[in-house]
Structure 1
């Protein structure tokens, strides 16, 4: 054999019109049809008049004064400050903290929280109303040798340092806000019977007084079978069925949950069935949470990710080409209540901009009004390549180096890419990788990606396939790149 030489294959873009088949039985729909379905539904829900109430919703800042080995990746105080400054600038009526604002119950952590609050809102009398969920980290004692389920200590630390109650029902600008606490740091008794009874009583009271208005509920862990990551082997609370049994009576409930640090950019972060459930993301770091049947962190189609850390944090590796960094994510929500609707905007506090499109919920819906349902898996548009993309494949020995610039149609974000190489004319992969896109970082710029595929067989010609997936496990047409093999 002669030595294998580097051979470059640079591809000029070529595009075909694309269509997709719906996942449900009995037919298909074009991406244009899906767009029109979503557009017509949201157009009917456009808010009327001025906002009657504005809330800033944020969670999981994990504030800690002594971060130790986390220091190199720790930017939570700056992220929390940015969030508060953003909410102050738009003059929110409510700050809704969904828990894990502090990383443990030590005094130094609460002192850090209060110092940032004092810096941004020095006049306490002029602060927005505050609701504060107790998360599992507010229950974390955080001292070596001491039990983490010291409820008396953590209760005292929370109430004395925040001035808030463990459970609360506040009426703000005519809207009910209800919170219940997480009971212990790590236990099946996460939500106590007392908290469930409180939720049942206060939800019924709020419903009687709602008068066509939404009811806002905050619980730190998610309810199973609702938003992204709450299905199967998840971080959902063990009391999910009891909570669901209470809230399903009230279609005007909007439930906010946190805990998981899952990306707000994922369209599965809102879900409607009997009520509306919304994931609040994270104001510190981002994780991925959907697992496949083998228990591996996977994309929406169940294909294992190859660019996610295996240390148990399930964070995407940083993308040096774009600066996307899962360790430094400051995201939250702006919720506005109007006479006829509630709008929910996702905010990247690093850029100071909303991203991902606005979610709109009727103020007093029936379940027939819901559009963020399981049907989105059939109707949401798939990503489509458009003019302006760049793609390159370079053969180097028995490796193919592949790079591309994202260029997709609007309204169809790419959750992940599956990149494979086959011997030309066959469909058997010689190598394959699945990577999460930069969508979680909400950078507002097209993603750039690069990876290497190690080939298992020498061939005279290869074909590389880059296949984009949306958040619901459906793929658009792949981009193909032909690559000449080595001279033998």
Structure 2
């Protein structure tokens, strides 16, 4: 098959600018496999075209980038910039017309030829200025590694993604639950994690990158951690907590498994924070803290938070930015950052993410009481003298079910067509004020400042009826729009004749996939021919803001 280039703009020549990821460091997308021949030819046009290529790989750049796409001869490239899946109605790439990316953006492209479409692939772009941060830190958690077979290739992809954004990070924080020990003697698995991480640090040339570990509830014991890793990765003095210097930035690793009842650890943390913030020039300088379990009444609280005394102790220090994992709660949700007296941030998870409970997912077998997705996420943190910029990044967010053939699994293997995409807009934590109270008064991610904009349906007919391959009937919902994200849909489908509710559910919107599907099919169980139904749907965001109700009356 012969390929032709669709020029969207001249390729930016600044790929050699320091701090910009080289193309070789990218996780290889699905269109770049060795079995694909860029210059081959084929007379067959009745099969879907290959996914498009892009001239400038996703990553972190210090200037706008101009993109050029490549596609098979006779195929049209269409793209979206809002995280949705391209359709035949999406913007077409026009030869000679530039697509310039000047702000943080996910670009999703697909190739169309006749009635056939390629798989969609997504690329994430972070557009920064030339200002140099004090430190670049990757924050990950809940690695849950237990073998080489399921994790070697996966972590090659993950480290390729890290390198595409921070080619030489100052530190990588692995914030607890490196392994999956449940009191069953898996402590030696820490050595497997060390082997995987060491191999990838060497492969990517991250020779000066500090790797700093916290203790999690699935990490067997402190002794097992010490035995499994180089001493500098976990330099505690006996209690599982320690202090580090990351390119001049203070970092504290706390042991959240013992914090509430560990008076020595509490005294150490409060004393050191008091000393640091009392020093001249440090009032508005960020201090990083990592600990596995969330601090109570902070980020996405209500699910597995267990450290009220940590919340109490950090409340005197608005300079503190506390990173936590444990719950696997996704970082797509803006409730993953919280400010009141300090800043608390949810890391996401490197193994699989969860959604707060009480919802259903659309799966191949219908609606399921499921709150997990095989999505891997991490945070990319840049610390400046007076602020911290936090970017949420997908390591893998392709659309898969957590169940495969009825068996639970989070081990989807690369390549990932979503690697390096943004799982949400960036957060900027500013420390603005001449006193601690003034800094707190200027916090932007507080409960009182939360989003109040409701989602809205933007199509004329957001509800319709679809029929599956086996004749099953479903209510199709065209996804609504929101300034942050649609979290779920409140769906009620009623049998008109009997008044019985055949579906009454809060259905998740698939916001954790990249790209997101453009519609959801809600199956109607036991739908009989000739039966009349009334459907009622509201789109709801993460803060409970609800769209106007949309309705549809239909007959099976």
TM-score between the two structures when normalised by the length of structure 2: 0.62
* CA deviations over 1:134-158 (Å, ceiling 9, x no partner): 11111x2xxxxxxxxx655555556
SS of the counterpart of 1:372? coil
- Map of 1:328-347 to 2, 5 A cutoff? 328-347=374-393
Q: Distance in 1 between matches of 2:317 and 2:234?
A: 30
Q: Distance in 1 between matches of 2:460 and 2:129?
A: 35
Q: Distance in 1 between matches of 2:261 and 2:129?
A: 35
Partner residue of 2:342 out of 271, 275, 280: 275
Do the aligned partners of 2:394 and 2:422 also contact (CA within 8 Å) in 1?
Answer: yes
Q: Distance in 2 between matches of 1:286 and 1:318?
A: 19
Instruction: Go from structure 1 to structure 2 and tell me whether the alpha carbon gap of 1:333 and 1:272 turns closer, same or farther (over 3 Å shift).
Output: same
Q: Distance in 1 between matches of 2:227 and 2:449?
A: 44
| Higher mean displacement: 423-432 or 48-57 | 423-432
Deviation at 1:183, TM superposition (A): 3.9
Do the aligned partners of 1:51 and 1:337 also contact (CA within 8 Å) in 2?
Answer: yes
Q: Distance in 2 between matches of 1:60 and 1:130?
A: 15
1:200 paired with 2:277, answer no
More helix by share: 1
- Which position in structure 1 is the counterpart of 2:249? 175
Instruction: Go from structure 1 to structure 2 and tell me whether the alpha carbon gap of 1:272 and 1:112 turns closer, same or farther (over 3 Å shift).
Output: same
- Which position in structure 2 is the counterpart of 1:373? 446
Do the aligned partners of 1:251 and 1:364 also contact (CA within 8 Å) in 2?
Answer: no
Q: Distance in 1 between matches of 2:459 and 2:547?
A: 15
- Which position in structure 1 is the counterpart of 2:522? 451
- Which position in structure 2 is the counterpart of 1:6? none
Deviation at 1:363, TM superposition (A): 3.5
Q: Distance in 1 between matches of 2:299 and 2:135?
A: 25
SS of the counterpart of 2:485? coil
Instruction: Go from structure 1 to structure 2 and tell me whether the alpha carbon gap of 1:93 and 1:152 turns closer, same or farther (over 3 Å shift).
Output: closer
SS of the counterpart of 1:438? coil
Deviation at 1:161, TM superposition (A): 9.2
Q: Distance in 2 between matches of 1:65 and 1:358?
A: 33
- Map of 1:318-467 to 2, 5 A cutoff? 326-350=372-396, 351=418, 352-364=420-432, 366-377=439-450, 379-387=451-459, 391-393=463-465, 401-409=474-482, 411-422=483-494, 429=501, 431-441=503-513, 443-454=514-525, 461-467=532-538
Deviation at 1:216, TM superposition (A): 0.6
Do the aligned partners of 1:383 and 1:469 also contact (CA within 8 Å) in 2?
Answer: yes
More strand by share: 2
* CA deviations over 1:260-295 (Å, ceiling 9, x no partner): 000110111001111110000100011233xxxxxx
* CA deviations over 1:47-79 (Å, ceiling 9, x no partner): 89332221111000101128xxxx9xxx55544
Do the aligned partners of 2:389 and 2:426 also contact (CA within 8 Å) in 1?
Answer: yes
Question: Unaligned stretches of 5+ in structure 1?
Answer: 1-45, 141-149, 290-296, 299-304, 308-315
- Which position in structure 2 is the counterpart of 1:27? none
Do the aligned partners of 2:318 and 2:440 also contact (CA within 8 Å) in 1?
Answer: yes
- Which position in structure 1 is the counterpart of 2:207? 126
- Which position in structure 2 is the counterpart of 1:85? 160
SS of the counterpart of 1:357? coil
Instruction: Go from structure 1 to structure 2 and tell me whether the alpha carbon gap of 1:56 and 1:455 turns closer, same or farther (over 3 Å shift).
Output: same
The one of the two structures with greater contact order (alpha-carbon pairs below 8 A, sep at least 6) is 1
* CA deviations over 1:403-442 (Å, ceiling 9, x no partner): 2332424x2311111111246699985531221221123x
SS of the counterpart of 2:199? helix
Residue-pair matches, total: 387
Deviation at 1:113, TM superposition (A): 1.3
Do the aligned partners of 1:181 and 1:191 also contact (CA within 8 Å) in 2?
Answer: no
Do the aligned partners of 2:178 and 2:190 also contact (CA within 8 Å) in 1?
Answer: no
- Which position in structure 1 is the counterpart of 2:97? none
- Which position in structure 2 is the counterpart of 1:216? 288
Instruction: Give me the CA root mean square deviation.
Output: 3.6
SS of the counterpart of 2:328? coil
Instruction: Go from structure 1 to structure 2 and tell me whether the alpha carbon gap of 1:191 and 1:476 turns closer, same or farther (over 3 Å shift).
Output: farther
TM-score between the two structures when normalised by the length of structure 1: 0.69
Instruction: Go from structure 1 to structure 2 and tell me whether the alpha carbon gap of 1:81 and 1:461 turns closer, same or farther (over 3 Å shift).
Output: same
Question: Unaligned stretches of 5+ in structure 2?
Answer: 1-127, 397-417, 434-438
Q: Distance in 1 between matches of 2:457 and 2:335?
A: 22
- Which position in structure 2 is the counterpart of 1:56? 138
Q: Distance in 2 between matches of 1:425 and 1:98?
A: 55
